[in-house]
Structure formats: C-alpha cells, structure tokens
Amino acid sequence: MTIKVEETRTTLRTTLGNQDITTADLGGLTPKAALFIVNGTTADGVAAAHDVSSFGVADGTRAWAMCCSNQDNVASVSSGVLENTGTLCVYLIDPTDARNPAAVVASFTVVGFIANGVTINGVATTAYEVTVVFFAGDDTSAYTNVFTLDGTSGNTVDISTVGFEPGVLITFGGYTSFVWENVVDLRVAYGFVLNSDPVRQYCMARSSDHEAAAGAPAAMVSDDYGIFWVDDAGDKCLAGEFGSFDAEGFSCTTRVASVADIQCGYLALAFNGKAQFNAGIIDSPTATGEQVITAPGFKPQFVMALVNRCEAVETGYATSLAGSTGISVFDANEAYCNSNQDEDGADPTDTQSLSDNVCVNLPYDDGSAGIAATFVSFDETGWTWNFSSVSANAKKFVYLAIERTFNVWLVASAGGKWWYRQAS
C-alpha cells in the first residue's frame, strides 16, 4: 500500500527547455498527478507588484492551466482572466497587459512524470516561484479534465470519463470558457468536494470589477457549492452542486445562474479505500500562539487550505475583507502559502502577489502585515499551527486534509513473539 502527497517549491527556468521539478520526499515514486501554483513572486516573503497568478493541473495524459491578473498602480482597474486546456500546466500573462493572450511571461507544458517528480518544458521571462503538489502511490488514482457548467439553473451535467469513483474533487474555475480568451472582470474560484453521504462541498471565490474607478474586490466562502463565482457585489452569479458519484465519475447541477455557461477544471482523486479525506471550514484564531485543529479526525499527511478574510459563510463581501485570498499547502516537511491582494477603494490601484514558505501569510488588502502562521505538527486527529499574527475577528478558512498511511511488513517471528516494521 503506497499513498504519497508531497510538495516542493522552486523557480521557473528563464531559458527555453526542459526542467525537472522533483522532491526526494516521494521516495522514488512517480506521481500520478501534479498541481502547479504560481504567482508573480521570485522570493519567499517578498511581495511583488500586481495581483497575478497561474493555476494548473496535470495527470500525465491531460493538463490545463488558468491565469488571472489585476494590474497595480493604474488609474482604473484592469482585471482579466485567461485559460487554456491541452498540455499547458503554467501560463502567466504580463500583468501590465492583462487581457492580451500574446503577452506571455511564463508558459510551460508537461513533458511527463518521472521518479520523484515531473518534467516540464517552456520558458519564463523572470524566475517566478512555482509550488508543485504531487499525488503518487500504487493506491492513488488521479484524473484531471474540464467540464461545462450549464448556465441554466436546474440543468445537470454528468461527467463519466473519470474511470473510477472519486473520493474527493479539487475544483478550479475562472470566468471564461477555457479557451484562449480575454475577459474583463477577474473572477476565480477554488473548491473541495467530498464523496460522502450526503456529499459535502466547499468553495472560496473572489472577483474584481474592471470597470470600477478604484480597487473593487469581492469574495465569498460557501459550504453549499463545490464551485461558484461571485459578481461585483459579492453575490453568486453561477454555482454548481456536485453529486451522483459512481464508478465512472460524478455529476454537477447548476443551482444559481445569472451568466452563461462556464467551464470548470477539476482534479479527481481516489486512494482505493486506504486513506481518508476530510474537508470543511475552520475559524482562524483571534489570539496568537498555537491552534490545534481536530476537525479531520485522523492524522494527515497533507493539508490544503483556502485562506481569506471572510468572516461568515454564505455572505458576500465587497469591502476590504474581500481583498486578500490565498492557497496554503503543507505536509510534514514543507509549508507554502501563495496569496494575492487587491486594496478596496485604492486609486490608483494597489495590487500585489506574495508567496512564502509558511502555512499562512495573508496580508490585509493594502499589503500590510496580516495573519501569519507556521507549521508545528500533524497530530492523531488533525494538525497544530502557530500564529504569530492574527485578526480581531475570526476568518473562514476552507481546508482539505488527506490521511497519513502506513505500510506494515512481518519481519520475523521467534519464541511466540512477532516483529513488525512499518514505514509511511
């Protein structure tokens, strides 16, 4: 039995060619899937101008990438989202030319998975940092693709190409139709869906209105939908409810629809019943020090958290609380947080990207120091992290935890005693 989820961070190459991204923590395993997270930063803990990011997924056969950008220091907001399906796993557009698909500053395709990692091919104009999460092991099944979320409320789409019954879905979406397309409003979303009875689903969405005279972020956290988008006021404009998991895939039903069809990217995972998943919403602490999280109910090997400044679930924010969101990933060896800031009401705009090698580094919308936490330990029922900086009011963090597993072998028996050896 082998199940491994590990992550690493490196910088993208600035000359055209192949680049191997590996981590010895995989123990020689070849991944089944990889998640790529990039924003406009080149060093841990050092913010970079412009709210710009790329998210990509690959499973060895299929890949897709999404890019969003919101320019810094301009007289009016200049938002945009671009997406692609095919072989790209990283795609970053020039934030000063946010809606021009020809203005590429980083573009990489997947060549193939290798022992301990992945080979990508491409070039970046700057050595941007990339965080890569690997899913590996004999008991790991992974599949990524995109589907069209119908723009008519009540309509259901059945996804029957996965080839196994997913235990969990990691969902992603931008406000386009997953072709090379320039759009105006920045609207992106990230979610987790658990194959349980009933199905549990969570999502964090953010947006920025390109027509605003000053910075105009909006955001919401939901425990009703596995994917949704928010409009300029922070209200849902399209939402999908997942269900009907079976041996071939799952379904998604449109429950909110005030815009046309939009495509959603996803990574489906299953661990052959050998590891548990759990997801949910937790409150960030309001006092510094260690916070013990017991919600998963098992000892994790990996946690992914959607961090934000929303203070209530199913409540849309179009204030400074909407202007800072991020993605945190951590295992027992590494922790990385990528976040983006868009200051509410700023004229000229005040946007930035930040990545750091800690569990949480989530500034205020204006870029000033906000919530910060480092990893302490994985525990028997969850994890412990330590907060050096907090907010007066608790924020709604969305998490996905994947259980740590063990291999156990009989080594010897003698005199009525048995000796075993185990390794994670």
Q: For residue 423, name the pLDDT band (cuts at 50, 70, 90).
A: very low
Q: How far apart are CA 407 and CA 275, in angstroms?
A: 12
Distance CA 250, CA 242 (A): 7
What integer pLDDT is reported at residue 377 of this predicted model?
98
User: What pTM does this model have?
Assistant: 0.93
- Tens digit of each residue's pLDDT (9 = 90 or more) over 111-134: 999 999 999 999 999 999 999 999
- pLDDT, residue 181, reads 46
- For residue 281 the two structure tokens come to 């919403």
Amino acid at 406: F
Tens of pLDDT, residue by residue over 173-200, are 876 554 444 456 788 899 999 999 999 9
Q: Residue range 143-154: average pLDDT?
A: 89
Predicted confidence at residue 186, as pLDDT, reads 80
pLDDT score recorded for residue 409:
43
> Which H or E run contains 403?
strand 396-403
Q: What is the pLDDT of residue 98?
A: 62
Task: Tell me the backbone φ, ψ of residue 296, rounded to 5 degrees.
Answer: -60, -40
Listed by start position, the domains of the chain span 4-423
pLDDT averaged over the chain?
A: 90
Cα-based angle 263, 195, 187 (whole degrees, multiple of 5): 30
Give, as one character, the DSSP assignment of residue 314. T
How many CB atoms lie under 10 A from the CB of residue 28? 8
Residues found in the chain: 424
At residue 261's C-alpha, the angle toward residues 258 and 263, to 5°, is: 125
The answer to whether residues 238 and 257 touch, using CB atoms and an 8 Å cutoff, is yes
